[in-house]
A and B are shown apart, each in its own frame.
Chain A
Amino acid sequence: MLSIIIIILGVSFILYTLLGGADFGAGIVETFAGPRGTKAISKAIAPVWEANHVWLILAIVILFSAFPLVYSTISTALHIPLMIVLLGIVIRGSSFTFRHYDVTHDNTHKYYTLAFKISSFITPFFLGITLGAMIFGEITLGSPVSFFEGFIKPWLNLFCITMGLFSTALFGYIAAVFMIGETSYPLEQKRYRRYSKMFLLAIIVTGLLVFIAAEVQGHHLVSAFFKSWLSITAMGLVALITLLIFYFFNHPVIRLLRIAVAIQVSLIMLGWFAIQFPVLVFEKNGNHLTFYNTQAPYATLYQLVIALFIGLILIIPSFYFLFRVFKKPKEQKEVI
C-alpha cells in the first residue's frame, strides 16, 4: 500500500511541476514576451489552469492523510514561506481570471497584469525555498528555541534561496517550451524558442549553484548524489536528453520537444527523489521524517488508495478529453 501511495504522491508532484509549472511559468515568460504574449498566454492557460492546479491539492491531501507528521512539521516550521506561497497562489489565480474575464478594457488591465506577473515569480520562488528547507535539515521542533532559529533559519539561507531560483527558472522553462506550441506565428515561435534556451541555461546555472551552496553550507549533496545509482542514471539521462532538446529547438518538432522536456523534468525530480529517499524532511536533531516512520495506519492507506484509484479512473480520461477539446485548432469568435 505504502509504495502505491508513494508513487501516486510522486506522480502528482511531478504532474504539478509540469502542468502547474507551465501555468506559473506563463507569468514569468510573459514578463519577457510583452503585451503580444499576454494574449497568447491567456488563451493557452485559461481553460486548463484550474484543473492543473488540483494536482497540488491532491499532493497535499495525500500528505496529510498518509504522512500527517510530515504535513504538520512543515506547516509549523515553514509557516512563513508557505503563507507567502499561498498569497502568491491567491493573487495570481484571481488576477489572471479577472484579467481574462473583465471585458471592459482600460487601465485596470495593467494592474491585473502587474499582480499576475509579480505573483508568478514569487510563488515558485517560495515553493523552491520550502522544498529546500525540507532537505536542508535545519528544522528544529519540539525543543524550545528562539523565534529566529525555529521559524526563520530553517528556510532563510543560501541553499534554500538557490533552490528558489532554480525552481523559478524551471517553471519559466516549462512555460516557454509549452508556449512554443501554443502560437502559430513562426516569428512568435522563434521568440519562445529563444526564451526556452535562455531558461534552460538558467536552470543549468542555478542547478550548479544549488550544489555549490549545499557544499558551502556543509550539506553534502554531491557525495549523497554519487551514492545513489538511480540518481546517477537519471542525471546521465537528463544530460543526454538535454542535448537532444537543443537539437529539437532548431527543428519543427514541437510535440517531440514537449515530450522530451517532460521526460527531462521528471528525470530531474526522480534523481532528486532518489538522493533523499526515504526521507521527506530532514531535521536538525537527526530524527528525520521518512515515509516509513510517519506513515498513517494501514486502514487509512488502504482507503486512500481506493479513493485515489477511482479518482484516477475518472480523472485521466476527462483530462484527456479537456486537452483534446482545446487542442483542436478552430478559428472562432465567441463571447467567452
Chain B
Amino acid sequence: MIGPNDLARMIWPDIDMLYPAKFVKRKFIPDFAGFEGTLCQISAMDDLIAARMQMAVSLGFHIVFACIGMTMPILMAFSEWKWLRTGRQEFMDVAKAWSKGVAIFFAVGAVSGTVLSFELGLLFPGFMEHAGPIIGMPFSWEGTAFFVEAIALGVFLYGWNRLNKWVHWISGVVVGISGVLSGIFVVSANAWMNSPTGFTWKDGKASNIDPVKAMFNDAWLSQALHMTLAAFVATSFAVAGVHAFLLIKNRNNRFHRTAVRLALSFGAVAALLQPISGDFSAKDIAKRQPAKLAALEALYKTSKPASLVIGGLPNDKEERVEYAIHIPGFLSFLAHGDFEAEVTGLDKFPKDERPPVMITHIAFQVMVASGFLLALAGLLFLVFSAWWKPLLYRKGWLMFVALLTPLGFIAVEAGWTVTEVGRQPWIIYGVMKTKDAVSPMPGLQYSFYTISTVYLLLTGLLIWLMRRQIATVPMIYPSAAPESDLNLKTDSSVKTGTVVPGNK
C-alpha cells in the first residue's frame, strides 16, 4: 500500500536526505492509547512535510487570485477609459463583464489571504515569532493597501449607476494601484526570507531590528518587478485565452474581439519584458543565493566556465543531469555576464544545506519555457496588430491563444516553486531552518488534507461558476449579442477564411 509519506516522497524525492526522520518525528505522550495507535498509523505523513505542503497549497491557491486582483482592475479601468473616450458600447460591456468576474475572484482572494495570515503562525510559529517584528512593516503597509483596495473595489463594483463616470473610473484606477502595491509589499516580505537583512542574529534571537532596511532588502527589487510582470502576463493571457476560445465559435463577436485585443495588448508587453526581468533575477540570485542558482541549473560541480543545462532529469546519486542539452559557457554568461566566469555548484555546500535539485530544476525549466512561449506569442500579437490585423482573428491564431490560457499561471506556480523550494532547507536564508520553525503540534496532516479538499472544491466550483456566468454574457451585454456581430461582408479589412498567411 502506498501511504501519504510515499506519495510525498514521489513528489519530493530528496525529502529524506534533507530532513532525516529523527528531526521530523516528534514524540508526545499517547493518552488515548488505542486511538493514538491508529492515529499514528493512518497519519504516517510527517508533520513537517504536511506543514510545507499546506503552505504550498495555500499560497499556490492564493497567488492565482492575487494575480487577478493586481491585473484585472487595471484592465477594467483601461477598458472603461476607452469607453469614456470613444463612447463605444463594447468597451463599457467588457469592463462591466470583467468586473463581475473580478468581484467573485476578489472575494476568494480575500478569504484565502486571511487564511495565509493565520497560517504563517499556525504552521510556522517559530518563524513568525522572530520574523514578525522584522517583516511586520511590509505586512502592515500591505494591510493598508488591501484596505484601500477593498473599499475602492466596493465603490467601483456597486457604483456604476450611482457615481459620476469619472469618479467611478478613478475608483477603478485606485483599485489597480493599491492591488499592485499590496502585491509588492508582500513580495518584499518574501524577499526578506531570501535575503534577510536589517537585524543581528545572536543566540537564536534577533536584535538591532531595522524594519525599513529589512523591507528594502537586496532581493526586493528583482522579485517585486518579476512578480508584478508575472501577474500581468498570467492574467492577461488567461483572460485573452478564454475570450479567444469563445471567438473561435463566432469570430465576428464584437464583445469578445474587444476583450481579446485589450487583454493581449497588456499581456504582450509584459511577456516581452518578463525574460529580461528574469535574467535580472537570475543574476541577482547568483550573488545572494548561489545554492538556489546551482539547484535550479542543476549544477552539481563548481565550474569555470559553466555550461547552461536545458531540460533533463537531475540524478542526485551520480550528481549529473541525464538527457539534457548543454550549452558551454552560457551559464557563466547568464549568471555573471562573462563567458569565462566561475559559477558556484552544489559541491560547495554541505549535503544538508542543498535545496532539492529535481523539483527546483524542473520547475525552472517549466517557467522559462512558458516564458519564452508567451513572449513569442506577445511578439506575434504586436507584429500582427501592426501589420497583419486580419491574422488576429484567424482560427489558427485564436486556437493558439486559447491554448495558452493556463500557461502564465503555470509559469507563476513554477516560479514560486523555484523561489520557495530553492531556498530550502532554510526558511530564513542562512539564519533559520524550516524544520526549526514548524509547529510542534502533531497531526498537522489533517489540516493539510482539510485545506486541500476545501481548496480543490472551491477551484472546481469557481470553474463551474465562471462557465455559468459566461453562458449568460450574450443575454446581458448588448455588444455580445448576436445582433451586434460585425458585418463582415461590408468590412473589407476583415476577411475570414480566405487570408493566406503568406500575403504580406
Q: Which residues of A contact B (CB under 8 A)?
A: 46-48, 50-51, 53-54, 56-58, 60-62, 64-66, 68-69, 71-76, 79, 82-83, 85-87, 89-94, 96-98, 101-104, 141, 144-151, 296-297, 299-300, 303-304, 307-308, 310-311, 314-315, 318-319, 321-322, 325-326, 328, 330, 332, 334-336
Give A95's nearest chain B residue, CB to CB: B461
In-complex Cβ contact of A98 among B104, B125, B447 (8 A): B104
Given contacts A51-B154, A97-B108, 8 further A-B contacts (CB under 8 A): A51-B147, A74-B121, A75-B125, A146-B29, A297-B133, A314-B144, A318-B151, A325-B159
Contact between B115 and A71, CB atoms less than 8 A apart: no
Contact between A71 and B100, CB atoms less than 8 A apart: no
Q: Which residues of B contact A102 (CB under 8 A)?
A: 465, 468-469
Contact between B212 and A307, CB atoms less than 8 A apart: no
In Å, the complex CA distance between A192 and B32 comes to 47
Contact between B136 and A65, CB atoms less than 8 A apart: yes
Q: Which residues of A contact B471 (CB under 8 A)?
A: 104
B111 within 8 A of A: yes
In Å, the complex CA distance between A76 and B210 comes to 27
Q: Decide yes or no: A60 and B137 within 8 Å by CB, A51-B151, A68-B129, A144-B29 being known contacts.
A: no
Q: Which residues of A contact B447 (CB under 8 A)?
A: 79, 83
Contact between B133 and A300, CB atoms less than 8 A apart: yes
Q: Decide yes or no: A57 and B209 within 8 Å by CB, A79-B441, A319-B151 being known contacts.
A: no
Q: Which residues of B contact A79 (CB under 8 A)?
A: 122, 439, 441, 447
Contact between A332 and B161, CB atoms less than 8 A apart: yes
Q: Which residues of B contact A330 (CB under 8 A)?
A: 161-162
For the residues of B in contact with A, the DSSP-based class is helix
Q: Which residues of B contact A326 (CB under 8 A)?
A: 154, 158, 162
For the residues of A in contact with B, the DSSP-based class is helix
In Å, the complex CA distance between A145 and B29 comes to 7
In-complex Cβ contact of B125 among A76, A85, A325, A335 (8 A): A76
Contact between A297 and B209, CB atoms less than 8 A apart: yes
Q: Which residues between 112 and 126 of chain B lie within 8 Å of chain A, taking CB atoms? A: 112-115, 117-122, 125-126
In Å, the complex CA distance between A65 and B132 comes to 5
In-complex Cβ contact of B469 among A58, A72, A74, A103 (8 A): A103
In Å, the complex CA distance between A331 and B86 comes to 29
Q: How many pairs of residues, A versus B, come closer than 8 Å at their CB atoms?
A: 245
Contact between B158 and A47, CB atoms less than 8 A apart: yes
In Å, the complex CA distance between A55 and B103 comes to 19
Q: Which of A58, A94, A322 has the most CB of B within 10 A?
A: A94
B237 within 8 A of A: no
Contact between B118 and A75, CB atoms less than 8 A apart: yes
**Min distance, Cβ A333 to any Cβ of chain B, angstroms:** 9
Q: Which residues of B contact A147 (CB under 8 A)?
A: 28-31, 36, 442-443
B52 within 8 A of A: no
**Min distance, Cβ B206 to any Cβ of chain A, angstroms:** 8
Of the four ranges (under 10, 10 to 19, 20 to 34, 35 or more), the interface on chain B belongs to: 35 or more
Closest 10 CB pairs of A and B: A65-B136, A75-B121, A311-B144, A296-B133, A68-B132, A72-B125, A97-B107, A93-B111, A64-B132, A72-B129
In Å, the complex CA distance between A50 and B152 comes to 11
In-complex Cβ contact of A150 among B28, B30, B133 (8 A): B28
Query: Can you list 26 A-B pairs with a CB-CB distance of less than 8 A?
Result: A50-B106, A53-B150, A56-B114, A61-B117, A61-B142, A64-B121, A65-B137, A71-B129, A72-B132, A74-B121, A75-B125, A75-B439, A76-B440, A85-B118, A90-B454, A91-B454, A93-B111, A97-B107, A315-B151, A322-B151, A328-B162, A330-B162, A334-B160, A335-B476, A336-B100, A336-B157
Q: Which residues of A contact B207 (CB under 8 A)?
A: 297
Interface flags for B228-271 (1: CB within 8 Å of A; 0: not) read 00000000000000000000000000000000000000000000
Contact between A89 and B114, CB atoms less than 8 A apart: yes
Q: Which residues of A contact B136 (CB under 8 A)?
A: 61, 64-66, 296, 300, 303-304
Q: Which residues of A contact B441 (CB under 8 A)?
A: 76, 79, 150-151
In Å, the complex CA distance between A47 and B117 comes to 23
In-complex Cβ contact of B465 among A46, A65, A98, A328 (8 A): A98
Contact between B209 and A47, CB atoms less than 8 A apart: no
Contact between B108 and A300, CB atoms less than 8 A apart: no
Contact between A307 and B160, CB atoms less than 8 A apart: no
B143 within 8 A of A: yes
In Å, the complex CA distance between A89 and B451 comes to 12
Give A335's nearest chain B residue, CB to CB: B476
Q: Which of A69, A83, A86 has the most CB of B within 10 A?
A: A86
Give A312's nearest chain B residue, CB to CB: B144
Contact between A148 and B31, CB atoms less than 8 A apart: yes
In Å, the complex CA distance between A310 and B148 comes to 12
Contact between A94 and B140, CB atoms less than 8 A apart: no
Q: Decide yes or no: A336 and B137 within 8 Å by CB, A90-B454, A144-B28 being known contacts.
A: no
Q: Which residues of B contact A91 (CB under 8 A)?
A: 454
